[in-house]
C-alpha cells in the first residue's frame, strides 16, 4: 500500500480516512520583454522567428529553471485549506472588518 505524507506539515495522509489534495504548479517565464527589443525596420515574420529561436536558446541554457518549473505537492485537508487561503504566499492581509470605513 502506498503511503502519502503531506508536503507541508509532513503528516501522514491515511488514504482511507483522509482526503489527499494534489497541487500542481506550473511556472513559465513570460517572454514578453523580448518583443520589446525588436528593431522597427526588421521584417515582422523574421523577427518572430528570431524571437522564437532566441527564447528556445534562453530556456535551454542554465537558466532553464527560471523559464519553466513544474511542481507537484501532496497536501492533507488542513494544509489544502491553508494553502487555498494564500496560494501565492502573499503578505498576510488585514482581517475582514478591520477597516473603519
Ligand atoms: Zn498537511
Which residues, other chains included, contact 35 with Cβ-Cβ below 8 Å and sequence gap of 6+?
A: 51
The alpha carbon of 2 and the centre of ligand 1 are apart by a number of angstroms equal to: 17
**Does residue 48 sit in helix, strand or coil?**
helix
The pLDDT value recorded for residue 32 is: 76
C-alpha cell at 100: 473603519
Instruction: Compute and round to an integer the Cα radius of gyration of the chain.
Output: 22
Q: How many CB atoms are closer than 10 A to CB 13?
A: 21
Strand partners for 28: 68
The alpha carbon of 65 and the centre of ligand 1 are apart by a number of angstroms equal to: 27
Max CA separation in the chain (angstroms): 65
Q: What is the pLDDT of residues 46-92, one digit of tens each?
A: 776 776 666 555 555 556 778 899 999 999 999 999 999 999 888 86
Q: What is the pLDDT of residues 5-15, one digit of tens each?
A: 999 999 999 98
Q: Residues lining ligand 1 (ion), CB within 5 A?
A: 6, 8-9, 11, 76, 79
Amino acid at each position: 500500500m502506498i503511503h502519502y505524507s503531506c508536503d507541508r506539515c509532513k503528516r501522514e495522509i491515511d488514504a482511507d480516512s483522509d482526503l489527499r489534495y494534489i497541487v500542481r504548479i506550473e511556472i513559465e517565464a513570460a517572454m514578453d520583454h523580448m518583443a520589446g527589443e525588436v528593431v522597427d525596420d526588421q521584417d515582422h515574420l523574421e523577427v518572430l522567428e528570431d524571437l522564437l529561436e532566441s527564447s528556445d536558446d534562453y530556456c535551454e541554457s542554465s537558466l532553464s529553471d527560471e523559464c519553466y518549473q513544474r511542481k507537484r505537492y501532496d497536501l492533507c485537508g488542513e494544509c489544502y485549506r491553508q494553502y487555498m487561503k494564500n496560494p501565492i504566499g502573499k503578505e498576510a492581509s488585514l482581517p475582514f472588518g478591520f477597516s473603519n470605513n
